[in-house]
Amino acid sequence: MINTLTSLRFIFALMVFGAHCYTIDKFFDTHFFKEGFVGVSFFFVLSGFIIAYNYQKKFSENKIAKRAFWVARIARIYPLHWLTLFIAVALGNYVIASGAIDWLKHFLASLTLTNAYIPKADYFFSFNSPSWSLCCEQLFYLCFPFLIPIAKDYKKLLCVFLVSAILIVIGMHFTPETDIKGYWYVNPITRLPDFLAGMLLFQLYDRLKGKNITAYQGSIIEIASIVLFLAFYLYAAEIPKVYRYSCYYWLPVAFLLISFSLQKGIVSRLLSNRILVIGGEISYSFYLIHLFVLLSYAEWQKGSNFHIAWYISIPILFCIIVLLSLLSYYYFEKPMNKRIKTLLNK
């Protein structure tokens, strides 16, 4: 495990949390907070890096079978996804459907993580809306073993990435504004280059990890990567949103990942703090749970005469989400992960 990258997962999960706080107060309905959706792009690129970091060598040396890899991935994403899906069903009001049959179609699409392939918001954002990103992760995991022969030669992988990137940028340019979210933000096929970018970064990391980089040099690199990311982030309002959904952030996210994966600088030492690492470990739970809490509170506030200022309610809600995430991670995710692996690997 690379502690710094685990901690970054938590930081970017916080950005997604901030992007959704506009449901509580208009104070958060600004570019600085709402641009936090970049957290999802970070997760996709990080996924490509971490999966390659953990499994590329094993596949290349035939130390793991495709089935074992896919079982491990299923055990990771499905238990909590299904739990939050059924919570959304129990709570109601999380899906727009014209009748029982239409509701069932939405439910089955969410259950099987295929809803993001349907370019309609009532599908890809139905039930627990953050789960659309799991559709993308599912495709990444399905493709990864078949990408290994290409990944053995970084030049081939780079060519595949560049061709797909060029096609995506062209496609984005000709897509009507009303369709960009369905085709470029949530669609698993068009988010695959994010994953490929992460795999390419692992190739670079593999070549740099043995280099003699001093703490001073490492610190300069890490600080420069943060400055570059912030520059892209703050300037993003001037860039058409369709590009910001993925390709615009490839460079700053890549620089961040490679800088902190090397763990050479002073910022890496700060990010290796155990509290932040635990935050990264529970970030999946945090990501899937947070919107339930925010929306439930917002709904309660609408019908209540007792109004709580956002600077009080947001910290309290954040603490509640962290607590629920800790409980989920230690008492649901980890036990279910082991049980599913045991069951499916028989």
pLDDT digits (tens, 9 = 90+) for 285-314: 999 999 999 999 998 888 888 888 999 999
Is the pLDDT assigned to residue 10 strictly greater than 90? yes
Is the pLDDT assigned to residue 93 strictly greater than 80? no
- Residues contacting residue 336 through CB under 8 Å, at least 6 positions apart: 75, 79, 80
Long-range contacts of 224-229 (CB under 8 A, 24+ apart): 224/255, 224/259, 225/252, 225/255, 225/256, 225/258, 225/259, 225/260, 226/256, 226/267, 228/252, 228/255, 229/253, 229/255, 229/256
Is the pLDDT assigned to residue 339 strictly greater than 80? yes
Tell me the three state secondary structure of residue 209.
coil
pLDDT digits (tens, 9 = 90+) for 120-174: 988 999 999 999 999 999 999 999 999 999 988 889 999 999 999 999 999 998 9
Enter the pTM of the model.
0.94
What pLDDT score was predicted for residue 303?
A: 80
Is the pLDDT assigned to residue 47 strictly greater than 90? yes
Tokens 């390659």 correspond to what residue?
Answer: 52
Average pLDDT, the chain: 93
What pLDDT score was predicted for residue 302?
A: 85
What pLDDT score was predicted for residue 91?
A: 87
Average pLDDT over residues 208-217: 90
What pLDDT score was predicted for residue 255?
A: 96
User: Are the C-beta atoms of 151 and 157 separated by less than 8 Å?
Assistant: yes
Average pLDDT over residues 230-250: 92
Is the pLDDT assigned to residue 248 strictly greater than 90? yes
Tokens 């001037």 correspond to what residue?
Answer: 238
